[in-house]
Amino acid sequence: MIEARQILNKIYGYENFRAPQDEIIDCVLKGDNALVIMPTGGGKSLCYQIPSLIRDGIGIIISPLIALMQDQVDALLQMGIKAATINSSMSGDEVNSIFEKITNQELDMLYVAPERVLMGGFLNALEKLPIALFAIDEAHCISQWGHDFRPSYQGLEILATRFANVPRIALTATADEPTRKDIIQKLGLESGKHFITGFDRPNIFYEIVPKDNSKAQITQFLQARHKGDSGIIYCLSRKNVEDMASWLCEIGYNALPYHAGLSPKIRERNQAQFLREENIIMCATIAFGMGIDKPDVRFVIHANIPKNIEAYYQETGRAGRDGEKADALLLYGVSDIAMLRNFIDDTNSPENQKRIEHAKLNAFIGLCESAKCRRQILLEYFGQNAKPCGYCDNCQNPPITYDATIAAQKAISNVYRTGQRFGAGYLIDVLTGKDTDRIIDFGHDKISTFGIGEELKKTEWQSIYRQLIALNYLMVSSENGGISITKDGLDFLKSKSTIMLKAAPSRKEKRAAKSKSAPILNDESQNLFEQLKAKRRELAIEANMPPYIIFHDKTLHEMANAKPQTLDELSEISGVGAQKLERYGAQFLEVLRANI
């Protein structure tokens, strides 16, 4: 561990490990296996990178995406660490060149996809080499309970038998109890140590609001909180992505699309631009982002609801990886729920897998409609006890609850009277007594529930129907979006029990919910920070790499506040290692000295 701390100081530029990084590294250095559950941005990569540098042999890091692997390799090379990746985009000559370096023991780390690891020739080649460790990143992909289940990951079971004496470290940011058990069993980690450090990302402000003109809501959010910031907007479909990106460009934002329907060349170009440049909004499907290591993403917006809490938590975790304040905004509606249920039912997955996915979606709907602290629900979902955080929309603007027993009875009875086959919009028209042609054609202007809900506005009935769906009193058909009554809903009608629901927020209340992040720098330091960013951007363009690989915003903030004037003083700034000090120290000191 003495050598580990020297590497942390000299190469990475950090003074101390974050708990429990030192315990994990010590475990792996001793040759033991480990499961590591650590929040996004918590420093998981150090837990296998430092042991790879110390133990004999090469560290094999298994990762799911080419972009993620290349990003990690670029960052390691900047610190003077010998790392490489082998991926499907490389030519045969390039692969052979990497293998030659591996054979000659000229590499400290190699990043590969699970499919590459499972190739017979690759495994045979590894058996002839000293292997420092196997690191399985995004390990939740190995589990059918995990939100990004990838069958190819399950083949990694072979590592436990074929390389029994090589330590295996599995890492992920999002894994509930069933997923953790699956990872342990499939990777043979029963006898290893398990490190579950907690899931909290206290720098992220969580806000979840009903969808009501999503473009207007997003515009207000960007103008009020994130002018000039980098961020991600997740959409449910390719068409939504294209529309969102085009619209943002029309109103003056620098936005790019990313989805599986684009050519690999365009996807790579847009992703590289997002990583290398500042003030860009990436509009994307979930095809984008697993493991994206851009630290200065200041916001993540979900224009549609994700399929489960794990996906939501991982996607929002792409904001604020540098530890600075960030926002996570989710807009949701009943139509999103119907579409996601349809996606689940239309897959070729086994029925058991579909049941798992439906249960996870129901849990997410419950998060959306709850009046409870958002962070408390998220952490409890992952098995971590938590108190109200004071830093989410429900904490800062507690929703008003009311006795909605009569209204709920009316809403559910209306579903029954209309035949359990219509969507919320039609049901609300019946309740509020709108004599539309469609209602008259179906004869629903003659039923007992026609017009019995005139005392409430449309937005209030929308909120009631959403919450009854979240409580599993009603369900949305995945085939046509029609609403029907569940067993719980029938039991509620029969028991005549009381139900408390969350009141629909007024427009004033919707505007009030906002992040309370305070300015980090005073005016003088902010001006210096912008100059340091400009110098970083200039150097990044010259080196053709993302600016954050040179220094994170957090490091520049510390420079702007401390104003170091010598190389020794600059070396005391967190994130300034020996290699970076030698490579960039003089250029940044020039900017700092000019501001004295």
What is the reported pLDDT for 289? 60
Instruction: Assess contact for 498 and 437: CB atoms under 8 A.
Output: no
What is the reported pLDDT for 508? 45
Element at 53 (helix H, strand E): helix 46-54
Element at 528 (helix H, strand E): helix 523-543
Residue 307's SS3 state is coil
What is the reported pLDDT for 253? 93
Rounded Cα distance between 206 and 326, Å, is: 9
The most confident of 63-67, 85-89, 117-121, 156-160, by mean pLDDT? 156-160
At 386, list the tokens: 């938590």
DSSP lists the bridge partners of residue 86 as 112
Closest among 368, 298, 295, 305 to 339, alpha carbons compared: 305
Is the predicted pLDDT of residue 517 greater than 50, yes or no? no
**Start-to-end CA span in the chain (Å):** 40
Phi, psi of 185 (to 5 degrees): -70, -45
Residue 325's SS3 state is coil
Q: Encode pLDDT of 364-377 as tens digits.
A: 888 888 888 999 98
- Count Cα atoms within 13 angstroms, Cβ side, for 318: 27
Residue 596's SS3 state is coil
Alpha helices in 166-279 (DSSP H): 177-186, 214-225, 238-250, 264-276
Is the predicted pLDDT of residue 356 greater than 90, yes or no? no
> What CATH number does the domain located at 204-332+370-396 have?
3.40.50.300
Check the CA dihedral 575-579-581-587 and report its sign.
Answer: negative
Rounded Cα distance between 276 and 266, Å, is: 15
What confidence tier does 516 reach under pLDDT thresholds 50, 70, 90?
very low
Element at 136 (helix H, strand E): strand 131-136
What confidence tier does 481 reach under pLDDT thresholds 50, 70, 90?
low
Is the predicted pLDDT of residue 155 greater than 50, yes or no? yes
What is the reported pLDDT for 352? 76
Is the predicted pLDDT of residue 472 greater than 80, yes or no? no
Token pair 């959010």 is found at 221
- b/e 22-35 (16+ beta carbons within 10 angstroms → b): bebbbbbbeebbbb
DSSP string across 369-391:
H--S-HHHHHHHHTT------S-
Opening angle at CA 275, ends 287 and 308, nearest 5: 30
Q: Encode pLDDT of 196-235 as tens digits.
A: 887 888 999 999 998 888 999 999 999 999 988 999 999 9
Domain boundaries, the chain: 2-196, 204-332+370-396, 401-512, 523-593
What confidence tier does 518 reach under pLDDT thresholds 50, 70, 90?
very low
Instruction: Tell me which of 476 and 319 has the higher pLDDT.
Output: 319
Instruction: Calculate mean pLDDT across residues 433-458.
Output: 94
Closest among 323, 62, 374 to 201, alpha carbons compared: 323
At 400, list the tokens: 């008003």
What is the reported pLDDT for 147? 66
Rounded Cα distance between 21 and 443, Å, is: 67
Instruction: Assess contact for 183 and 143: CB atoms under 8 A.
Output: yes
What confidence tier does 521 reach under pLDDT thresholds 50, 70, 90?
low
What is the reported pLDDT for 479? 56
Task: Share the mean pLDDT of the chain.
Answer: 87
What confidence tier does 505 reach under pLDDT thresholds 50, 70, 90?
low
What confidence tier does 459 reach under pLDDT thresholds 50, 70, 90?
confident
What is the reported pLDDT for 336? 82
Rounded Cα distance between 146 and 47, Å, is: 22
What is the reported pLDDT for 285? 87
Number of H helices, E strands in the chain: 29, 17
Opening angle at CA 178, ends 172 and 182, nearest 5: 70
Q: Encode pLDDT of 16-59 as tens digits.
A: 898 899 999 999 999 999 999 987 767 889 999 999 999 999 99
Q: Encode pLDDT of 393-432 as tens digits.
A: 999 988 888 999 999 999 999 999 999 999 888 999 999 9
Rounded Cα distance between 163 and 168, Å, is: 9
Rg (alpha carbons) of the chain, rounded to whole number? 26
Instruction: Tell me which of 567 and 522 has the higher pLDDT.
Output: 567
The reply to whether 2-196 and 204-332+370-396 are identical in fold is: yes
What is the reported pLDDT for 143? 81
Establish whether the linkage from the previous residue to 20 is cis, with ω within 30° of 0: yes
Give the range among 154-168, 353-367, 513-527, 560-574 with minimum mean pLDDT: 513-527
Rounded Cα distance between 482 and 264, Å, is: 38
Instruction: Assess contact for 159 and 4: CB atoms under 8 A.
Output: no
Token pair 């000191």 is found at 589
Share of the chain above pLDDT 70, in %: 94
- DSSP assignment, residue 399? P
Q: What is the pTM of this model?
A: 0.67
Residue 472's SS3 state is coil
* Entry field: residues in the chain: 596
Residue 273's SS3 state is helix
> What CATH number does the domain located at 2-196 have?
3.40.50.300
What is the reported pLDDT for 24? 95
What is the reported pLDDT for 514? 43
Instruction: Calculate mean pLDDT across residues 150-174.
Output: 90
Is the predicted pLDDT of residue 529 greater than 90, yes or no? no
Rounded Cα distance between 240 and 283, Å, is: 9
Q: Tell me which fold the domain 401-512 belongs to.
A: Arc Repressor Mutant, subunit A (1.10.10)
What is the reported pLDDT for 105? 87
Instruction: Assess contact for 391 and 516: CB atoms under 8 A.
Output: yes
What is the reported pLDDT for 362? 77
For domain 523-593, which architecture applies? Orthogonal Bundle (1.10)
Backbone conformation region of residue 139, classed left if phi is above 0, alpha if psi is from -120 to 50, else beta: alpha
DSSP lists the bridge partners of residue 26 as none
Rounded Cα distance between 409 and 288, Å, is: 43
Q: Encode pLDDT of 66-100 as tens digits.
A: 767 877 888 899 889 999 999 888 888 998 899 89
Closest among 561, 559, 552 to 521, alpha carbons compared: 561
Q: Encode pLDDT of 536-584 as tens digits.
A: 988 988 888 888 888 888 889 889 888 889 988 888 888 888 889 888 9
Closest among 142, 197, 199 to 168, alpha carbons compared: 142
Q: Encode pLDDT of 267-313 as tens digits.
A: 888 988 888 888 899 999 876 665 567 888 999 999 998 888 888 98
